[in-house]
Amino acid sequence: MIHNRPALLLAVVATGTAISMSVLAGWQRGGWLAERLVWMAIGVVLVAGAHLLLALCRSAPLSGRVFGAVLWLGCMGAASYGHATFFLLSQFHAGELRVSAIPVASLPAHRELTAVMADRASVMAALARSDARRCIRDCPTWQARRTSLAARLDALDAEATDVRRYQAIEDGNAGHRMTARDDPVTARLAMFCGIPEARLDLFAGLGFAAVLEGLACLLWWVALAPRVPESPVTDRHGISHDVTAGRASVTPPARSPTPIAAQSPGPPVVPPTATLHHSDLAKLQHDIESGAVKPTVAGIRQHLGCSQARASTLRRQLADLTA
């Protein structure tokens, strides 16, 4: 019977969360539908083993506990691997969603910068050959060709400027997409620690998985722990109080016997505790003889509503009294 209901509730929530993560990771791993279902079943079994093995092997023999601990370590490693897969895939999908939400500047169709620069080089070579040639005859035609080459060179320079501007816009869009794809906390932490973001993502996923698995194991250990019976509490005066039954059994402290010469004459004074004790014994003996109470420890405990130790003491004293 489970006595710690808050721990049980938290354990069920933690195990349900871990199972859902393993199911999603298994669905992402498989290709065919049958493969996905098998991966999902494997994840559920591994998570259940990682969470419940320690609690279930608590009362097993030593060999069973050792074997269960080895299997528990394997289940923890496999479950943590599956959870790390879920964390990495979820971060990737979240990054894709962030990238798709970024507005992209539309650019007109344009040539590559290398093609523009190649045409510019050809025009510059033709213009240089035209300048090197002397005008002997038909000078107006030569002058028109030279002017045309200079104008084409200017047009190619303007096109190259536009292409460079378009490339800067494309580089900015790519940089925005790259920044949006990375997790902001991971990116800044990787910059602060000086390690690659991919490695930090892996370590973070494994850390989250280990914390979740360890918390679930501890909660199931607490929830499935057997209930320990409460023992009587003894205060500083030597009086034993029975916490379980809600009654107080008074045990007088031991005293040294009083010398006979120091006793005062008169009838002996019976302590109140002893008188109450003898009256209880007499009433209990009368109830047993009348058949109202069974002469057993369980019957005495049920009749008086006292603890097990108190009932055992009364049963022993009754046996000595009848003997």
Q: What would the pLDDT profile of 262-308 be if each residue is shown by its tens digit?
A: 444 444 444 444 443 566 677 777 788 877 777 888 888 777 777 87
Q: Tell me how far apart the alpha carbons of residues 296 and 309 are, in angstroms, rounded to a whole number.
A: 13
State the greatest distance between any 2 C-alpha atoms of the chain, in Å, as a whole number: 166
In this structure, what are the phi and psi dihedrals at residue 47, rounded to the nearest 5 degrees? -65, -45
What Rg do the C-alpha atoms of the chain give, in angstroms? 45
- Given a cut of 90, whether residue 208 has pLDDT beyond it is no
Q: Give the model confidence (pLDDT) of 164-179 as tens digits.
A: 988 888 888 777 777 7
Higher pLDDT, 8 or 258: 8
Is residue 80 within 8 Å of 212, Cβ to Cβ?
Answer: no
Q: For a pLDDT cut of 90, what percent of the chain falls above it?
A: 9
- Given a cut of 90, whether residue 41 has pLDDT beyond it is yes
Per-residue pLDDT, averaged over 309-320, amounts to: 81
- Given a cut of 70, whether residue 235 has pLDDT beyond it is no
Per-residue pLDDT, averaged over 127-143, amounts to: 74
- 10, 107, 121, 169, 322 from 163: Cα distances, Å: 60, 10, 16, 10, 115
SS3 57: coil
Q: Tell me how far apart the alpha carbons of residues 210 and 198 are, in angstroms, rounded to a whole number.
A: 19
SS3 298: helix
Rounded mean pLDDT of the chain? 78
213 CB contacts (<8 Å, ≥6 apart)?
A: 18, 50, 51, 76, 79, 80, 83
Does the CA dihedral 301-305-308-312 come out positive or negative? negative
The one-letter code for the residue type at 16 is: G
Higher pLDDT, 98 or 254: 98
95 CB contacts (<8 Å, ≥6 apart)?
A: 180, 181, 182, 183
Q: Tell me how far apart the alpha carbons of residues 45 and 26 are, in angstroms, rounded to a whole number.
A: 12
- Would you place residue 20 in the very low, low, confident or very high pLDDT band (cuts 50, 70, 90)? very high
* DSSP 8-class letter at 234: E
The one-letter code for the residue type at 189 is: L
The pLDDT, as a whole number, for residue 254 is 46
- Would you place residue 230 in the very low, low, confident or very high pLDDT band (cuts 50, 70, 90)? low
The separation between CA 124 and the C-alpha centre of its own chain, rounded to angstroms, equals 68
Q: Tell me how far apart the alpha carbons of residues 226 and 55 are, in angstroms, rounded to a whole number.
A: 10
- Would you place residue 138 in the very low, low, confident or very high pLDDT band (cuts 50, 70, 90)? low
Task: Quote the Cα angle for 22-91-31, to 5°.
Answer: 50
The pLDDT, as a whole number, for residue 247 is 44
Indicate whether this model's pTM tops 0.85. Answer: no
112 CB contacts (<8 Å, ≥6 apart)?
A: 163
- Listed ranges 2-16, 134-148, 259-273, 292-306; the one with the highest mean pLDDT: 2-16
The encoded tokens of residue 153 equal: 């060179």
Out of 93-107, 130-144, 213-227, pick the least confident: 130-144
The pLDDT, as a whole number, for residue 269 is 45
Q: Tell me how far apart the alpha carbons of residues 197 and 113 are, in angstroms, rounded to a whole number.
A: 33
**Could you tell me where the DSSP H helices lie in 133-253?**
139-181, 184-193, 197-223
The pLDDT, as a whole number, for residue 13 is 93
- Would you place residue 238 in the very low, low, confident or very high pLDDT band (cuts 50, 70, 90)? very low
The pLDDT, as a whole number, for residue 285 is 79
Q: Tell me how far apart the alpha carbons of residues 308 and 300 are, in angstroms, rounded to a whole number.
A: 9
- 57, 162, 195 from 69: Cα distances, Å: 8, 68, 34
- Listed ranges 96-110, 145-159, 257-271, 308-322; the one with the highest mean pLDDT: 145-159
* DSSP 8-class letter at 248: B
- Would you place residue 229 in the very low, low, confident or very high pLDDT band (cuts 50, 70, 90)? low
SS3 233: strand
